[in-house]
C-alpha cells in the first residue's frame, strides 16, 4: 500500500515553528493498526488521515499512542493540504469526524476552524497533577482537559512539570492546559499530555475549545488573540460564537513524500 504524505507546520507562517503535523491522503481506509503504526513512524504529535467522501472528507487523527477525538492543528494542516497542495477545494473544506461535522474556511490569509465550544467547569486538581507542578495554579477547571489558571505569562513560561509525577495519571484523550493573561495578546497557554510519547504539545487547537469561552467570559470580548508559548510557539486568532468557536491560523508545508507500507 502506498500513500501520499505531507508534513505541515500549523499555526505559524514560518517553517520550524508552530505545531508539526503529518497529513495522509487516502483512497480507502487501511486498518486502524496501520494508521497507528504510520503515526508512530511519523513521530509528530498528530497524523491526520483523510478520505474524499462526496463533497466533503472523512477525517481521523492519530497520535503515536492513540486515536484522538479532536485535533485542531492537524485539521488545519489537512485543510491546508486539501486546498493548497492538492487543490481539491478552493476555500472551504467540510469534514466528518469523531467530534461531528467540522468545517475549515480559508479567508484573509488564514484557515479558520469551526469547532465545538467546550466550556470548562470548576473542579478539584488530582494529586498527581498538583504534585508535579513547581508553581500552584490560582484556579482549576475541567472539560475534556484540565484547565489551570495562573496570574502571569511569566509563570506559564516558568512552569516545569515533573513528568514522572504527572505520568501517574492517565487522561486519554485529554491533557493539562495551563493559561494566563498574555503580554501583547489576550491570553497565553501551554499544553501537557501525561503518558504520551510527546509530553508537551507545541500548539493545541482543541485546547482552545475550552480556552476561548473561558477568556471570552473573563475579558468580556468575543474576538481574542492567543499565543501558545511552547519552545516552537504558535499564534491563534479566536472567536467565541456561543456553542461553537472559530480558531484561525496559518500553515506552511515543510515537505511531502510517498509512504510505502508493503
Of the residues 31, 37, 41, 46, which is catalytic?
A: 46
Told to judge if 200 belongs to the known catalytic residues of this protein, a careful annotator would answer no
Sequential DSSP letters for 134-159:
SS--SEEEESSSEEEE-S-HHHHHH-
User: What residues form DSSP beta bridges with 58?
Assistant: 51, 96
210 in Cβ contact with 143 (< 8 Å): yes
Cell, residue 188: 497565553
Alpha carbon distance 76, 111 (integer Å): 7
Within its chain, how far is the Cα of 171 from the centroid? 16
C-alpha closest to that of 93 among 61, 51, 55? 55
Within its chain, how far is the Cα of 92 from the centroid? 19
Question: Is residue 162 within a helix (H) or strand (E), and if so which, with residue range?
Answer: none
Q: Active-site positions?
A: 46
Amino acid at each position: 500500500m502506498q500513500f501520499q504524505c505531507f508534513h505541515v507546520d500549523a499555526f505559524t507562517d514560518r517553517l520550524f515553528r508552530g505545531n508539526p503535523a503529518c497529513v495522509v491522503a487516502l483512497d480507502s481506509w487501511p486498518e486502524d493498526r496501520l494508521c497507528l503504526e504510520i503515526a508512530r513512524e511519523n513521530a509528530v504529535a498528530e497524523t491526520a488521515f483523510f478520505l474524499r467522501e462526496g463533497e466533503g472528507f472523512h477525517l481521523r487523527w492519530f497520535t503515536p499512542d492513540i486515536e484522538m477525538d479532536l485535533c485542531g492543528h492537524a485539521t488545519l494542516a489537512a485543510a491546508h493540504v486539501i486546498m493548497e497542495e492538492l487543490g481539491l477545494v478552493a476555500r472551504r473544506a467540510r469534514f466528518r469526524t469523531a467530534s461531528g461535522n467540522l468545517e475549515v474556511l480559508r479567508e484573509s490569509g488564514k484557515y479558520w476552524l469551526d469547532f465545538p465550544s467546550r466550556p470548562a467547569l470548576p473542579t478539584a486538581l488530582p494529586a498527581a497533577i498538583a504534585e508535579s507542578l513547581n508553581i500552584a495554579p490560582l484556579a482549576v477547571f475541567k472539560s475534556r482537559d484540565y484547565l489551570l489558571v495562573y496570574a502571569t505569562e511569566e509563570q506559564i513560561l516558568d512552569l516545569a512539570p515533573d513528568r514522572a509525577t504527572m505520568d501517574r495519571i492517565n487522561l486519554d484523550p485529554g491533557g493539562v492546559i495551563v493559561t494566563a493573561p498574555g503580554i501583547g495578546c489576550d491570553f497565553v497557554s501551554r499544553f501537557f499530555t501525561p503518558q504520551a510519547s510527546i509530553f508537551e504539545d507545541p500548539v493545541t487547537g482543541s485546547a482552545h475549545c475550552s480556552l476561548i469561552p473561558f477568556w471570552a467570559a473573563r475579558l468580556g470580548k468575543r474576538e481574542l488573540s492567543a499565543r501558545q508559548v511552547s519552545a516552537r510557539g504558535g499564534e491563534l486568532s479566536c472567536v467565541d460564537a456561543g456553542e461553537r468557536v472559530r480558531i484561525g491560523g496559518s500553515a506552511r508545508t515543510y515537505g511531502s513524500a510517498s509512504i510505502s507500507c508493503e
